[in-house]
Structure 1
Amino acid sequence: MDHLSYAAQIRRGVVRLNRRLRQERGEGGLSPNQLGVLGHLRRHGAATPGEVAAAERQRPQSLTRVFAELEADGLIARTADSADRRQSVLTLTVEGLRALERDMAERDAWLAAALGTLNETEREVLRLAGALMDRLADTEPQEPSSGTAALQEPSSGTAELRRPSL
């Protein structure tokens, strides 16, 4: 199987699982963009709107409404940057953390139940696949070589992964 065939199969699986996880969100749950912003602030701490947008691979203008909604709902706080008063800094509030954890818990509960239908080896393969997908999300394609895009290793934070015996 070539890299393009692998890519198509992985993409299909990721898209289908993502759709299912979105369906498992409770009524009035957070939007994907809201989850992205809150998740970024949880993982990385305070950040400017531009930093959040860059990490989410979006333009800051695309997230302006999302930032305003989250701030109006008390899920994030916006303050002026002490070094540059023209710039604002976003921080996750306690209520924002609760909303994020509640939203994640609903989907995690479904996923945990679904994982219970798999055997131990399959669960371990998926755990490793999750770590690899995180790594892939942080890579930048280089010039194509022999018909496929080579991936550049992220500069830091890579976990050592071993192939499980099947």
Structure 2
Amino acid sequence: MSADEPDEPHEPDVPAGPGDAELAAAAAELRITIGRLRRALRFHGGSLGLTPSQSEALGQLFRDGPQTITALAGRIGVRSQSVGATVAALVEAGLVRVTQDAADGRQRIAEATDRAEEVVAASRAGREDWLVDRLGSLSPAEQRRLIDAIPLLTRLLDAP
């Protein structure tokens, strides 16, 4: 290798990343857009007559299965007393059942009922049908760009 040749292969020119101002503007636009999307999904999936905290608790039970009230509170990020009231309303609606923990009688285990599974499945189907319809309004290239962005959005949520 002569002195004129670089030691490493030449990298193609990579565009510089966005600056702080552009990132801040993108963050604000993303927040607004995701908020609008959440509201639209809530509308098209039906509210199920639940408060946001009840929906969050029920969703957590679906994702992670039966769990103690304390564990549910920790996952949602609220006090056990608050989740206790939320779970009580879900029990009254027939969407959750609560049993004593066999290993620790002081703990109560919350679990989604079969009725909740049916109601939530119908709600999810409504939201997914709406999304499929909206995705169909995009060009194939736009659909591909959106599909390719999903892992990036997931990484944003999973980042420490």
Range into which the TM-score falls when normalised by the shorter chain: 0.7 to 0.9
| Equivalent in the alignment of 2:149 | 129
How much has 1:74 moved relative to structure 2? Answer: 1.7
Map of 1:66-77 to 2, 5 A cutoff? 66-77=86-97
User: Which is richer in helix?
Assistant: 2
How much has 1:76 moved relative to structure 2? Answer: 1.2
Distance between the aligned counterparts of 1:121 and 1:52, measured in 2?
A: 41
- For 1:23, the aligned partner's letter is F
| TM-score, length of structure 2 as denominator length | 0.74
Q: What is the number of residues matched between the two proteins?
A: 140
| Equivalent in the alignment of 2:78 | 58
- For 1:112, the aligned partner's letter is V
Higher-Rg structure is 2
Unaligned runs of 5+ in 2: 1-17
8 Å Cα contact 1:35/1:100 also seen in 2: no
Q: Could you say what secondary structure the match of 1:35 adopts? A: helix
Q: Could you say what secondary structure the match of 2:71 adopts? A: helix
| Equivalent in the alignment of 1:87 | 107
8 Å Cα contact 1:38/1:97 also seen in 2: no
Output the aligned Cα RMSD: 2.1
Pairing 1:9–2:29 present: yes
Closer/same/farther in 2, CA of residues 52 and 139 from structure 1, 3 Å limit: farther
Taking every aligned residue pair, what percent have the same amino acid on both sides?
35
Deviations 1:64-107 (A, max 9, x none): 32201111122111111122111111111111111111122222
